[in-house]
Amino acid sequence: MIKSLLKRESELAHAKKQLDILSNGIFKQGELPTFKAKISETNQFPLKAKKLEILQINVGYMCNQTCSHCHVDASPDRKEIMSKDTMLQCLEVIKNTGAHTLDLTGGAPEMNPHFRWFVDEASKAGIKDFIVRSNLTIITANKKYHDLPEFFKNHNVHVVSSMPHWTKGKTDKQRGDGVFDASLKALKMLNDVGYGMPDSNLKLDLVYNPSGAFLPGNQMAMEKDFKKALLDDFGIHFHNLFALTNLPISRFLDYLIASENYEDYMYALVEAFNPNAVSNVMCTNTLSVSWNGYLYDCDFNQMLELPVNNEVKHISEYNEKLLEGRDIVVSQHCYGCTAGAGSSCQGTVA
Amino acid sequence: MQKTYYDPADLKKFGKISEWNEELGTKFFEYYGKVFEEGALTEREKSLIALAVSHTIQCPYCIDAYTGDGLQRGITKEEMMEALHVAAAIRGGASLVHGVQMMNKVNKLDM
């Protein structure tokens, strides 16, 4: 298994280096407009945070996989894990938030030793949609995780899982050898307890990321193809497919540069810029909490160490009213969320 | 004079064709867009046909465009290569089937 950029001591493990690349070169020379300049053309700068709808909490960067496109640089070698104290601070917020969605992510969130306790406590807050982003293979990785489908069901968790393709070759290339077979096994286990079945209230959605330097196709058409292939070939059911664009940060940025696709990819993102997607980008209704409790406009800004532009910086000092209306922090990676039909953790936005 | 006949950057300028004849250019692009909409065939199937035809007519712009389009649609490299072999078989077959003409001629003239 490949190691994280951090473990490899790559300079791209550092947010500053990534931001340097995104701010210089073709953007510095004026070949392409900066994101700020582009959204200014349609009077959409500065982007403002609206009323909070989604609270996304990253409970740690540790993962049992090392996917080649991962924007978190997650891996088994990452040790950043949310402590129980920080989780307690998050729970205070969860009990009082006006957000309708709680979204737990990682790494593999299930690898946090306090994960089950946290889900148990958070589920008591009665938030309408409680998402756990599971990479699927964690369910089959170790006997202690085999009962996760039942655990999710008991807490009425909405499971959102990554699946880059319905074929083994494309999936394993992006997510690692054996991931496709393990993912199918996990999906069957989830189906067996009712997840993803037609008319079931146990929601199972899949996330598609392109396995290379190209943008995702039409979400509805992809969903149709995924559903047909997974059902016909493997008897697997799921509800919705979210087609996400890979943002040019962290390991995907590393891949783009190494494969000499960086400039072409940025051109593709800028050419596909859709001003209609800007008003609905997820940072305008989402708040991202890092493993150590700091607040960001989105998970991508978290990885680029671009904190919220607000006097409230940490979950311990959380104040929803103060955070509302803040200016969103943007850079050139934001083009990833405004290309084509737009992209967010909930799929397309335009 | 430029040193190559094909420049990948020219593909992005395709729309400029309309600048010298707006009426016909507009009509063409409307037709083009309509052709690739889902109908009796899916957009995915049409993309594979376009890829195969691109190779038959050996259009570098089209090959670039429909390889990228196929990847975006989740078309696998195995599917792409099979489509190309269909194109190659028809193209090769088109040469070979003329062999019948050759055979007819030989049979007519040869003692």
Domain ranges of chain B: 17-109
A24 three-class SS: coil
Q: Which of B42, B68, B76 sits opposite A170 (nearest CB)?
A: B76
Q: Is B42 on the interface with A (CB under 8 A)?
A: yes
Give the pLDDT score at B1. 62
Partner-chain contact B72 A271, CB within 8 Å:
no
Q: Name the helix (H) or strand (E) containing A224.
A: helix A219-234
Mean pLDDT (whole number) for B83-89: 98
A256-303 per-position pLDDT tens digit: 999 999 999 999 999 999 999 999 999 999 999 999 999 999 999 999
Residue (of A139, A140, A165, A171) closest to A152 by Cα position: A139
Q: How confident is residue A48, by pLDDT bands cut at 50, 70 and 90? A: very high
Give the pLDDT score at A61. 98
Helices A115-123, A84-96: axis angle to 10 degrees equals: 20
Give the pLDDT score at A142. 95
Residue (of A252, A282, A277, A280) closest to A266 by Cα position: A252
Q: How confident is residue A234, by pLDDT bands cut at 50, 70 and 90? A: very high
Checking if the pLDDT of B9 tops 90, the result is: no
Residue in chain B nearest A245 by alpha carbon = B72
Which residues partner with A307 through β-bridges?
Answer: A296
Give the pLDDT score at B8. 87
Q: Is B81 on the interface with A (CB under 8 A)?
A: no
Which residues in chain A have Cβ-Cβ distances shorter than 8 Å to B41?
A: none
Spell out the domains of chain A, with CATH numbers in brackets.
11-338 (3.20.20)
Give the pLDDT score at B4. 85
Give the distance from CA A30 to its chain's centroid. 30
Partner-chain contact A222 B73, CB within 8 Å:
yes
Work out the number of other CB atoms within 10 angstroms of the CB of residue B79: 17
Which residues in chain B have Cβ-Cβ distances shorter than 8 Å to A166?
A: 74
Partner-chain contact B72 A166, CB within 8 Å:
no
Q: Is A259 on the interface with B (CB under 8 A)?
A: no
| Average pLDDT value for chain A | 96
Q: What is the ipTM of this complex?
A: 0.78
Mean pLDDT (whole number) for B29-51: 96
A168-215 per-position pLDDT tens digit: 998 998 899 999 999 999 999 999 999 999 999 999 999 999 999 999
Q: Is A170 on the interface with B (CB under 8 A)?
A: yes
Mean pLDDT (whole number) for A42-59: 96
Burial of B92 (0-12, 13-18, 19+ CB in 10 A): exposed
Checking if the pLDDT of B80 tops 80, the result is: yes
CATH 3.40.50.170 fits B17-109, yes or no: no
Partner-chain contact A222 B76, CB within 8 Å:
no
Which residues partner with A160 through β-bridges?
Answer: A133, A205
Give the pLDDT score at B2. 67
Checking if the pLDDT of A119 tops 70, the result is: yes
Q: Is B91 on the interface with A (CB under 8 A)?
A: no
Partner-chain contact B71 A214, CB within 8 Å:
yes
Mutating which of A168, A225, A246 best tests the B interface, going by the most B Cβ atoms within 10 A?
A225
Residue in chain A nearest B12 by alpha carbon = A271
Radius of gyration of chain A (CA): 19
Q: Which of A167, A225, A271 sits opposite B44 (nearest CB)?
A: A225
Alpha helix segments (H runs only) across chain B: 22-35, 43-56, 60-72, 77-97, 99-109
Mean pLDDT (whole number) for A77-86: 97
Checking if the pLDDT of B5 tops 90, the result is: no
Partner-chain contact A217 B73, CB within 8 Å:
yes
Structure tokens at A75: 């891996």
Mean pLDDT (whole number) for A57-69: 96
Q: Is B15 on the interface with A (CB under 8 A)?
A: no
